[in-house]
A and B are shown apart, each in its own frame.
Chain A
């Protein structure tokens, strides 16, 4: 069974800092990996989707990398803002459109 782990569980940084969130998975036979954002009491918003053939994806201040062989992915957030405060989840497929989720990293960006 696939296990997805995220570290750290929580992170608090001052505004403007660059930061890295980590995700690891035990079964490297994945065809993609997604990063999601979850605001308190809300659903999920997809941030980035990396196909297994890609090494990274970028969207604005976000950059996600994928190293299948080592079972790792990172989400890099540049110049963090208070509006980035949320829980960030990584997920790998467990069949068509179904996912295994990590437990998330709760980010707090202080003004």
Chain B
């Protein structure tokens, strides 16, 4: 079945550095991918919609210059956390639009980011 792969599964970085997270659709083409963030004991919050070949759409309150999204191909979207700070430490999850007209049933396994 359709699978979404997310990499890395966890990363630790120093404050001020940038971190790139990849989200791949393994056996289907995803014109749209979605990035969520989850703080401890809180729900998933949609950050942005990644559109293949065009600019991402960011949700209110999400800094587009800090969370850079690139969707250069139909199977890969990347989220780069630039100049990371400890408050960016969170669990980031992507999901992919299967383009079937029903809600996506496949999410990535998430990336645990810790900024020290």
Q: Do A and B bind each other?
A: yes
A:34-72 near B, CB below 8 Å:
34, 41-46, 49
Query: What residues on B are CB-neighbors of A89 within 8 Å?
Result: 43-44
Contact of A99 with B46 in the complex, beta carbons under 8 Å: yes
Set B41, B43, B103: member contacting A97, Cβ < 8 A: B103
A-B contact count (CB 8 A): 54
Of B12-20, B65-73, B75-83, B104-112, the one contacting chain A is B104-112
B:91-116 near A, CB below 8 Å:
91, 93, 95, 97, 102-110, 112
Of A12-20, A75-83, A100-108, the one contacting chain B is A100-108
Instruction: Kindly state whether residue A28 has any CB partner on chain B within 8 Å.
Output: no
Instruction: Kindly state whether residue B6 has any CB partner on chain A within 8 Å.
Output: yes
Contact of B108 with A49 in the complex, beta carbons under 8 Å: no
Interface size class of B (residues with CB under 8 A): 20 to 34
B:27-67 near A, CB below 8 Å:
32, 34, 36, 41-46, 49
Query: What residues on B are CB-neighbors of A44 within 8 Å?
Result: 44, 93, 95, 107
| Residue tally, chain A, CB below 8 Å to B | 21
Contact of B43 with A98 in the complex, beta carbons under 8 Å: no
Chain A's closest residue to B41 (CB) is A103
Nearest CB of B to A64, in Å: 14
The 6 closest A-B pairs by CB, nearest first: A43-B107, A46-B105, A103-B43, A44-B107, A43-B109, A101-B43
Excluding A43-B107, A99-B103, 10 further A-B contacts by CB distance (< 8 Å) are: A41-B91, A43-B6, A43-B108, A45-B107, A46-B103, A49-B103, A97-B103, A97-B104, A101-B45, A102-B43
Query: Can you identify 17 A-B contacts, CB atoms within 8 angstroms?
Result: A4-B43, A41-B10, A41-B109, A41-B110, A43-B4, A45-B107, A46-B103, A46-B106, A89-B43, A89-B44, A96-B97, A97-B32, A97-B34, A98-B34, A99-B44, A102-B43, A103-B41
